[in-house]
Amino acid sequence: NVKSDARNNYRYHAPDMERGLKEKVAIEGLLRQAIDKNELLLHYQPRICMRTGVLKGVEALVRWQQPKLGMIPPGEFIPVAEESGLIDSIGTWVLQEACAQAVAWREQGLGKLRVAVNLSPRQFHYANLVAQVQGILAQAGLEPDHLEIEITESAVMKDTESAINTLHLLKELGVVVSVDDFGTGYSSLSYLKLFPIDILKIDQSFVRDMLDNPSDAAIAKAIIALGQSLRLTVVAEGVETRGQAQSLKALGCDEMQGYYFSRPVPAAQIIEIAQRHSPARAGEWVDEISQT
């Protein structure tokens, strides 16, 4: 009976939806205070040059240490922040914190270390973004090419004309731009020639199964070849095993990021990783992954 099915469905789903909504509202309320209460923090995931083993940079990944709920991953609160507009203040905080940290590392004697910051689509389309980034760099005293901005394909495809304009202004400023989760968005390849970007990050879904799934391997290979012919740096994310690292290296992937090398870690741990992966010492690691 269709009618009672419909009613049952309604009965079954309504409380779920209500709970979801209540949860969202509750999270939003707590998140609103999170910055002032100092509950947000950044972890940093190393990015390694596959050829030399040198630490090239780190990606800043926000975490929310909520006193009652514990550590909340960004996948759970960034969407709420994006929807509610809280991303504006969270995003500003992330940029300021990441730039200040990059300067602190330099003062601690680390060589050039670029810090990558994720921007959500709403942040990327904020009219004042470029001036804001410029102001934050100046305030922190960070060279623009020490900052990388990670955007997704969907962010640039949303309003391509303004996206191209923003990308040109960022480029003029000297900031590095990468396309995150590359290969998963609804974009056409032709936009790559219009958009002044520097880096492609192969989405982790292709890396995850590349050793078992020939289609994923073919896509990873194609993205690397595309990046090479367009003279873009190609970074693989989500590299979890030595086998994946070896095969990406053989395909000519430039840099990698993933649990195989390191999880995202607090800022203090980056110092030791940078020393082990300085130009003078990094070769050992390359030898190590080259062994079968």
Report the distance separating Cα 235 and Cα 255, nearest Å. Answer: 5
Nearer to ligand C2E, 120 or 247 (CB): 120
Nearer to ligand C2E, 259 or 266 (CB): 259
Residue 260 phi, psi dihedral angles, 5° rounding: -55, -40
Q: Is 118 in the site for Mg ion (CB under 5 A)?
A: yes
Q: Which does 28 bind (CB under 5 to 8 A by kind): Mg ion, ligand C2E, none?
A: none
Nearer to ligand C2E, 150 or 255 (CB): 150
Site for ligand C2E in 75-104 (CB under 6 A): 75, 78, 91, 94
Beta bridge partners of 66: 70
Give the interface segment with Mg ion, choosing from 68-76, 98-106, 175-183, 247-255 (CB under 5 A): 175-183
- CB count, 10 Å around CB of 14? 10
Give the interface segment with ligand C2E, choosing from 68-76, 155-163, 227-235, 280-288 (CB under 6 A): 68-76
- CB count, 10 Å around CB of 241? 14
Report the distance separating Cα 79 and Cα 92, nearest Å. Answer: 16
Nearer to Mg ion, 52 or 154 (CB): 154
Angle (CA) 28 41 105, round 5°: 155
Give the interface segment with ligand C2E, choosing from 30-38, 118-126, 130-138, 277-285 (CB under 6 A): 118-126
Nearer to ligand C2E, 91 or 227 (CB): 91
Site for ligand C2E in 199-228 (CB under 6 A): 204
Site for ligand C2E in 168-187 (CB under 6 A): 180-181
In the complex, what is the shortest distance from the CB of residue 263 to Mg ion, in angstroms, rounded to a whole number? 14
Nearer to ligand C2E, 39 or 181 (CB): 181
Using the structure block, give the residue that is written with the tokens 């969270």: 90
Residue 139 backbone zone (phi > 0: left; psi -120 to 50: alpha; other: beta):
alpha
3-state percent breakdown (helix, strand, coil) of the chain, nearest 5: 55, 20, 30
Q: Is 259 in the site for ligand C2E (CB under 6 A)?
A: yes
Residues found near ligand C2E in the complex (CB under 6 A):
45, 61-62, 73-75, 78, 91, 94, 118-120, 150, 180-181, 204, 237-240, 258-259, 264
